[in-house]
Amino acid sequence: MTEKMETSLTKLVRCVILDLDGTLLNTDGIVGNVLKVQLSRYGKQWDGREAHKIVGKTPFEAAAAIVEDYQLSCSTIEFVSQISPLFSDQWCNIKAVPGAHRLLKHLKNHGVPTALASNSPRESIEAKISYHDGWKSSFSVIIGGDEVRTGKPSPDMFLEAAERLRMEPSSCLVIEDSLPGVTAGKVAEMQVVAVPSLPKQSHLYAAADEVINSLLDLRLEKWGLPPFEDWVDGTLPLDPWYIGGPVIKGFGRGSKVLGIPTANISMKGYSDLLAEHPSGVYFGWAGLSSRGVFKMVMSIGWNPYFDNKEKTIEPWLLHKFDEDFYGEELRLVIIGYIRSETNFPTLESLIAKIHEDGEIAEKALELPLYSSYKNDPYLRTS
Ligand code: ADP
Ligand code: RBF
Ligand code: MG
């Protein structure tokens, strides 16, 4: 399908309605921590695998699911009142998902009317967003779960948001991470972009008009909204982040299967960083203790082609080495994004795409915007 046809198939919108938890805020870690603490008081152990049961639910519904699943000796109301203060204590620690701040700033700068519609109570919403500069003033409308008769998956909240924005539902673009939220948006007859917050779930989101992997992949022009202007030569500049450690053995296939060696490092101590960053293809600079600083392109994620069980980072240094360098200290500064991870019909097409990524990174890293990081002291260990 050509680019042009694709655009004409999607309905054009005039405003955006956003979900909060899991969509703009990375709430998952906090939820896990709170449930771990409270369940242990009942002699139970939180198993992250239940996370999908609570995503997108109202606090009461989520608590009810936990009380039932873990057969707790308390009522749902009691459980809610026990965990509520634990959550309130954590709100100051919730980070924005990558791309959330950028999106809100962009919509505000371009005068696109924006609403926030969350199943959380209004008071919690206000508290959570108060820790993020400029967020509150980005929304012309804020609606909490306690301000409508029924929360998502009922469309009430989105219909109320449209009314307060003085927009037709068909002119609204909903951005949602959860299934109840996607359902609510479609019942409200709005356009819906799903950004699943849990991995390997995108097949469940068929009802959405588009499923993307992270906010970094949002293309507003598809919906008739002003496009982001920060992409440079196929790359999106990011706030730098840093990761390093001795090179360890990886899956044993980079060189053998693909002809593309990737120098793996241990993710011990970096699990939060790894969880924070969406899967995808990134680039930056790599420092090797005794060899110098090199251009680098890497994937983060589950390598859909190989369907790995673990999320890893796979850094390919854009330099020809005559030997392996296992055990050497590798330092990475990651400064840009290229694309989301995808599956490929053939190994050849995966290899071709990775080489294309390499060329994009190679060229971009010459730009002053990116080349300045080559001198970052973090990269030099000797
Ligand atoms: P594994 O991932 O199983 O450790 P690979 O086949 O991916 O094995 O090879 C990775 C190793 O190859 C790195 O740990 C490093 O020692 C070596 N290597 C050689 N050239 C490069 C390069 N350009 N980029 C990354 N690693 C390289
Ligand atoms: N694996 C995938 O399954 N899908 C991808 O889109 C993908 N993109 C990659 C991009 C780069 C720049 C690199 C270095 C690797 C990528 N890989 C991808 C991972 C590749 O499958 C990985 O290097 C091997 O699995 C090594 O173990
Ligand atoms: Mg490797």
Q: What is the bridge-based pairing of β-strands 172-176 and 141-143?
A: unpaired
Q: What is the largest CA-CA distance in the chain?
A: 67
Active site residue 329: no
Atom of ligand 2 nearest to the CA of 315: 14
Three-class secondary structure assignment of 1-31: CCHHHHHHHCCCCCEEEECCECCCEECHHHH
Q: Give the whole-angstrom CA distance, residue 135 versus residue 105.
A: 8
- Which residue matches tokens 């082609």? 305
Residue of minimum CA distance from atom 19 in ligand 2: 303
Decide: 302 in ligand 2 pocket, CB within 6 A: no
Q: Which of 156, 177, 314, 357 is catalytic?
A: 314
Q: How far is the CA of 32 from the centre of ligand 3 (A)?
A: 30
Q: Which ligand sits nearest to residue 355's alpha carbon?
A: 2
- In the numeric block, which tokens belong to residue 289? 């203790």
Residues lining ligand 1, Cβ inside 6 A: 247, 249-252, 254-256, 261-264, 316-317, 319, 321, 324-326
pTM: 0.92
Whose tokens are 């390997």? That residue is 200
Task: Match 């500049």 to its residue by tokens.
Answer: 237
- How far is 42 from 44, CA to CA, in rounded Å? 5
Work out which ligand 2 atom sits closest to the CA atom of 254.
26
210 lines ligand 2 (CB under 6 A): no
310 alpha carbon to ligand 2 midpoint, in Å?
Answer: 13
Q: How far is the CA of 263 from the centre of ligand 1 (A)?
A: 4
Q: Running along the chain, 382 residues long, what does each successive block of 10 average in pLDDT?
A: 51 96 91 92 88 84 93 95 93 95 98 97 96 97 96 97 98 97 98 92 92 97 97 97 96 88 94 93 96 97 94 97 96 98 96 98 98 97 74
**177 is an active site residue:** no
Ligand nearest to the CA of 249: 1
pLDDT at 197: 86
CA dihedral of residues 313, 364, 102, 21 (deg, nearest 10):
-10
Res 303: pLDDT: 95
Sign, Cα dihedral of 205, 206, 207, 213: positive
Of all ligands present, the nearest one to the C-alpha of 298 is 2
**Residue 175, burial from CB neighbour count under 10 angstroms (0-12, 13-18, 19+):** buried
Regarding the beta carbon of 351 and ligand 2, being less than 6 Å apart is answered: no
CA of 94 from ligand 1 middle (Å) equals 36
pLDDT at 9: 59
pLDDT at 208: 97
Active site residue 314: yes
Atom of ligand 2 nearest to the CA of 361: 12
Question: What are the DSSP E strand ranges found in the chain?
Answer: 15-18, 25-26, 95-96, 114-117, 141-143, 172-176, 191-194, 210-211, 236-248, 264-265, 280-288, 292-301, 312-317, 329-339
With the most atoms of ligand 1 within 8 angstroms of its CB, the residue from 318, 324, 328 to mutate is 324
CB-CB contact of 336 with 282 (8 Å)? yes
